[in-house]
């Protein structure tokens, strides 16, 4: 009688169980170490010996029945939880997938590769040089001893280690190449990042790339330099852009020149002395060329004898030309980019156009 009551009470309470926590507490109440069933089994000792086997069997049968009911309840709760989560986290497998954003090369990398490919066809190999330089190589060996006024052309980021700086141009690479290859002829381009402590404007960044070029041999002249640069400009910009060569000054080249390309934004229409036509007005307000109609893309010249000597070459026997161009400025001219700051801004609307 007592066991039958226990069975009914246990099964009735199990009916009311609707979650895992309640099931655990039901389990310990009836089947646990100090549960009702264990207590019932303890009463076995108080029974007369002849009644014990039958009582023992009944307790075991009850235990089996409660365990079976427990398993049944567990399965029921699991099913219910599954149904709930399927309803709550419904997944529509027929929806179209989200498009995967595909990366691509940064425009600066693309332009750099274009430049290096053209020079590869002209016979120039790539030489990599360091971005952290010493004062000696960035300035002195390039014919700029301490206090030389030309150093002011390159406002410099110095490190906390005296004499160690971020290179202001790729030209110190010339010294590294010459010292490695002397006395053999050289035809290399040196791409890389440069740093200048300058005011940032639409056409000048504190961090920008340059491509240095260096050719050393025994019969190299200024016309080789001009021929190389004109061929390059035509290949890079196409036939439409005009180039202009001006004389200039660099301490490490003699003579020195600079090359400009006509401005793509205002088409190089510089205001004349008498008029202010529509294009003239556009040119005078042009952020890219500042109204001059031209944008400087590179400096160049014949390698100065002092620099040749520092590189190990005898200037009586060897001559060379060198140039240093700015790929960001060139990309601006090629793709009508009005502001150089866009290159390192990480703006997706800009980057997606390339």
Tokens of 129: 């040089």
- When the beta carbons of 269 and 296 are compared against ligand FA5, the nearer one is 296
CB 207 within 8 A of CB 169: no
- When the beta carbons of 233 and 340 are compared against ligand FA5, the nearer one is 340
- When the beta carbons of 7 and 169 are compared against ligand FA5, the nearer one is 169
Distance (Å, whole) CA 97 – CA 274: 62
C-alpha gyration radius of the chain? 42
Nearest to 154 by CA among 192, 84, 100, 206: 206
- When the beta carbons of 26 and 208 are compared against ligand FA5, the nearer one is 208
- When the beta carbons of 198 and 314 are compared against ligand FA5, the nearer one is 198
- When the beta carbons of 232 and 323 are compared against ligand FA5, the nearer one is 323
Shortest Cβ 212–ligand FA5 spacing (Å) = 6
H helix intervals, the chain: 2-15, 20-30, 36-42, 52-88, 107-121, 135-138, 172-181, 222-237, 278-284, 305-310, 327-335, 348-351
Shortest Cβ 252–ligand FA5 spacing (Å) = 6
The DSSP output letter for 102 is P
Shortest Cβ 348–ligand FA5 spacing (Å) = 22
Residues binding ligand FA5 (CB under 6 A): 169, 171, 196, 198, 204-205, 208, 210, 212, 250, 253, 256, 296-301, 322-326, 328-329, 340
CB 257 within 8 A of CB 247: yes
- When the beta carbons of 63 and 224 are compared against ligand FA5, the nearer one is 224
- When the beta carbons of 17 and 212 are compared against ligand FA5, the nearer one is 212
Q: How far, in Å, are 78, 88, 95 from residue 91 at the CA level? A: 20, 9, 9
Beta strands in 113-221 (DSSP E): 125-126, 132-134, 164-166, 186-195, 207-217
Q: Cis omega (within 30 of 0) on the bond before 183? A: yes
Q: Which residue is nearest to ligand FA5 (CB)?
A: 326
Distance (Å, whole) CA 8 – CA 11: 5
CB 297 within 8 A of CB 323: no
Shortest Cβ 297–ligand FA5 spacing (Å) = 5
Shortest Cβ 206–ligand FA5 spacing (Å) = 7
- When the beta carbons of 210 and 319 are compared against ligand FA5, the nearer one is 210
Shortest Cβ 286–ligand FA5 spacing (Å) = 17
Shortest Cβ 305–ligand FA5 spacing (Å) = 14
Shortest Cβ 354–ligand FA5 spacing (Å) = 18
Shortest Cβ 100–ligand FA5 spacing (Å) = 34
Distance (Å, whole) CA 335 – CA 152: 31
Distance (Å, whole) CA 238 – CA 312: 38
């Amino acid at each position: 009688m007592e066991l039958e009551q226990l069975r009914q009470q246990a099964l009735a309470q199990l009916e009311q169980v609707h979650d895992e926590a309640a099931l655990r507490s039901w389990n310990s109440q009836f089947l646990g170490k100090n549960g009702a069933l264990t207590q019932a089994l303890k009463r076995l000792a108080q029974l007369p010996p002849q009644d014990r086997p039958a009582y023992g069997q009944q307790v075991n049968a009850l235990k089996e029945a409660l365990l079976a009911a427990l398993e049944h309840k567990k399965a029921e709760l699991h099913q219910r939880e599954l149904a709930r989560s399927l309803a709550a986290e419904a997944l529509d497998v027929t929806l179209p997938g989200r498009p995967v954003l595909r990366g691509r090369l940064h425009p600066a990398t693309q332009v750099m590769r274009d430049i290096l490919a053209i020079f590869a066809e002209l016979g120039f190999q790539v030489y990599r040089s360091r971005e952290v330089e010493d004062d000696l190589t960035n300035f002195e060996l390039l014919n700029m001893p301490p206090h030389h006024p030309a150093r002011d052309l390159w406002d410099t980021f110095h490190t906390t280690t005296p004499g160690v700086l971020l290179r202001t141009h790729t030209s110190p690479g010339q010294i590294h190449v010459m010292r490695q290859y002397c006395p053999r002829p050289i035809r290399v381009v040196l791409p890389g990042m440069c740093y200048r402590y300058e005011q940032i404007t639409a056409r000048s960044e504190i961090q920008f790339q340059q491509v240095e070029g260096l050719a050393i041999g025994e019969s190299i002249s200024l016309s080789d330099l001009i021929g190389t640069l004109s061929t390059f400009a035509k290949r890079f910009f196409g036939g439409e852009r005009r180039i202009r060569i001006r004389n200039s000054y660099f301490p490490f080249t003699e003579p020195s020149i600079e090359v400009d390309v006509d401005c793509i934004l205002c088409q190089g229409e510089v205001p004349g002395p008498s008029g202010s036509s529509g294009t003239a007005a556009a040119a005078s307000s042009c952020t890219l060329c500042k109204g001059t109609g031209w944008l400087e893309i590179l400096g160049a010249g014949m390698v100065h004898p002092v620099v040749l000597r520092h590189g190990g070459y005898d200037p009586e026997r060897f001559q060379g030309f060198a140039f240093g161009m700015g790929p960001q400025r060139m990309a601006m001219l090629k793709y009508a980019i009005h502001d150089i700051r866009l290159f390192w801004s990480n703006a997706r609307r800009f980057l997606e156009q390339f």
